[in-house]
Amino acid sequence: MTTTRRESRFRSLIHEPGALALGTWCKLPAMESVELIALAGFDFIVIDLEHSMLSVETAYRLIGTARLSGVSPLVRVPGLDPGLMQRLLDGGAEGLVLPHVDSASQAREAVSAARFPPLGRRGAGSTSRAGNWGALDRAEYTRYGQDEVVLVAQIESREAIRAATDIAAVKGIDALLVGAADLSADAGLAEDDPVMTAMASEVIKIATDAGLPVGNAGNGTGEAVRRALTAGYSFTMLSNDASLLGAALRSAAAGARAITSGPA
């Protein structure tokens, strides 16, 4: 049995002063997608179980591929489901992203599901991948789950904005994520509306004051990354694997059509 101390690369990255960890959503049920993301140089992926048809078993396989490829695997769950959250963590996820956290009480429920006692009620399963199939010392398996796994609360409504200070204060919440798409829908505003920018800035300030990293999601452009860095985000998602693949295919087809349809 080994007692090697493990560290979360994602946790280290998002706490690095002045740095911006780069990730993308993973929506395609293909291990090759994760390999390509890692080879491209991304720091982390968020396997999306909220807005995709991915199964738990597929997410499990993508987590394993990510770990072997050197990119940190997080999973966005569809909602607060303690059983699912526990399975994904024992499957090796380095963190969980929980959507629609609108209150401190919801944040505390998330912590209860994701953390071991006394902070939470997660059950111990050290014979899983997270415990190196029983080869990892039980104390280190527990320490990693308690101290290294990252629990991210998504802030994506006006109610959540109002509760953000209390959410950030919940012990066991490690980071906030501004969900601009749902926040804009809730507020009835375009994502580039100045009021939206002000609300995002408020969350960034709240997170910073609480000592928490804060992230966002944008498109796959350098300008989106520049804006995220300037705004003060600690991590950002550049589009998603399906959209990035689609954009590359459209670009290739458009370039080819321009040649084949042009003058001989």
- Residues designated catalytic: 51
In a domain, 113, yes or no: yes
Please state the domain count of the chain: 1
Q: What is the pLDDT of residue 3?
A: 76
CATH number of the domain within which 20 lies: 3.20.20.60
Q: What is the pLDDT of residue 46?
A: 98
In a domain, 177, yes or no: yes
What phi, psi does 45 have (nearest 5°)?
-125, 155
Q: What is the pLDDT of residue 111?
A: 98
In a domain, 3, yes or no: no
Q: What is the pLDDT of residue 244?
A: 97
What phi, psi does 219 have (nearest 5°)?
-90, 175
In a domain, 124, yes or no: yes
In a domain, 4, yes or no: no
The tens digit of pLDDT for each residue in 198-215 reads 999 999 999 999 999 999
In a domain, 78, yes or no: yes
Q: What is the pLDDT of residue 70?
A: 96
Question: What average pLDDT score do residues 150-174 get?
Answer: 98
Mean per-residue pLDDT over the chain, rounded: 96
Rounded CA gap, 187 and 72, in Å? Answer: 33
Residue with tokens 């982390």: 44
In a domain, 2, yes or no: no
Query: Could you tell me what percent of the chain has a pLDDT over 90?
Result: 95
Question: What average pLDDT score do residues 24-51 get?
Answer: 98
The tens digit of pLDDT for each residue in 64-116 reads 999 999 999 999 999 999 999 999 999 999 999 999 999 999 999 999 999 99
Q: What is the pLDDT of residue 254?
A: 96
Three-state DSSP class for residue 30: coil
Place 17 in a pLDDT band, splitting at 50, 70 and 90. very high
Q: What is the pLDDT of residue 1?
A: 74
In a domain, 22, yes or no: yes
Place 8 in a pLDDT band, splitting at 50, 70 and 90. very high
Query: How are the residues of the chain apportioned to helix, strand and coil, as percentages rounded to the nearest 5?
Result: 50, 15, 35
Rounded CA gap, 22 and 19, in Å? Answer: 10
Asked whether residue 264 carries a pLDDT value surpassing 60, the answer given is: no
Q: Which residues form the domain of 70? A: 9-260
